[in-house]
A and B are shown apart, each in its own frame.
Chain A
């Protein structure tokens, strides 16, 4: 039992753990290596990074979520939006495994809509 059953949290904003997206060219493909947490606050940043990578007009864009340890539905909405935007222009692929990223996408049926690969190599080499 807590000594203080109710607490008013203070007004300061906790330091954002943030999200980083590193663009790496791989021949005709571009890999966006994403690390951090994708939530309501950082999802727009993911969208900006993907759009910037798309502007390089690769044949294939691989969004690698291997180093992402939290994925909320706000992030999934961004990924679905980018996937729809990519249709007819480039191949949009996601790398994700494990419970933090693959499981939420599986639970919401997103794995049926977007090509998701367990490793970056497979995403880059699949036909």
Chain B
């Protein structure tokens, strides 16, 4: 399966789960899958765009920061429609070391504020085993 050429038909309607090596070159393909999925589950254009960018930022944060002392790490991308709560949940999980954003004159550390600005609710859960970023968007009534 080539993520870059995945058909919309291959994108599941309900749950979505991909596990990939945490490297920059893998993220563009996942972005396209997320865009197709967001469209398919009926998010507005604005929320779809927000979901794609926020999820990308969470994955990029993993690529840049989670595995700095290791040669290879994995990331899990999950998407789920929660009909009971009327919302969409996306999580990005890594299994590396959480590091708080370093202040560096505004050059870096825009990813997390961006995620917060693009989601109705988001949480970051660091554990000894890794970090999960969880992001929510409301489903249209």
Which residues of A pack against B, CB within 8 Å?
Answer: 1-2, 5-10, 12-17, 37, 39-41, 70, 72-74, 76-77, 80-81, 84, 99-100, 103-104, 107-110, 113
Contact = CB atoms under 8 A, between A and B. Distances in A.
28 contacts: A1-B12, A1-B15, A2-B14, A2-B15, A2-B16, A2-B17, A5-B15, A5-B17, A6-B19, A7-B1, A7-B18, A9-B1, A9-B29, A10-B1, A14-B26, A37-B28, A39-B28, A39-B56, A72-B53, A72-B111, A73-B110, A76-B110, A99-B46, A104-B118, A107-B117, A107-B118, A108-B117, A110-B110
Contact of A16 (B14, B25, B49, B64): B25
B2 A14 contact: yes
A104 B112 CA distance: 12
A74 B2 CA distance: 25
B41 to A, nearest CB: 13
B114 A7 contact: no
Nearest to A77: B107
Contact of B24 (A2, A41, A80): A41
Interface of B: 1-5, 12-20, 24-29, 31, 46, 49, 52-53, 56-57, 60, 63-64, 105-108, 110-111, 113-114, 117-118
A73 to B, nearest CB: 4
A99 B1 contact: no
Contacts of A76: 110
Given A2-B16, A9-B18, 8 more contacts: A1-B13, A6-B17, A9-B29, A13-B25, A39-B27, A40-B64, A73-B60, A108-B110
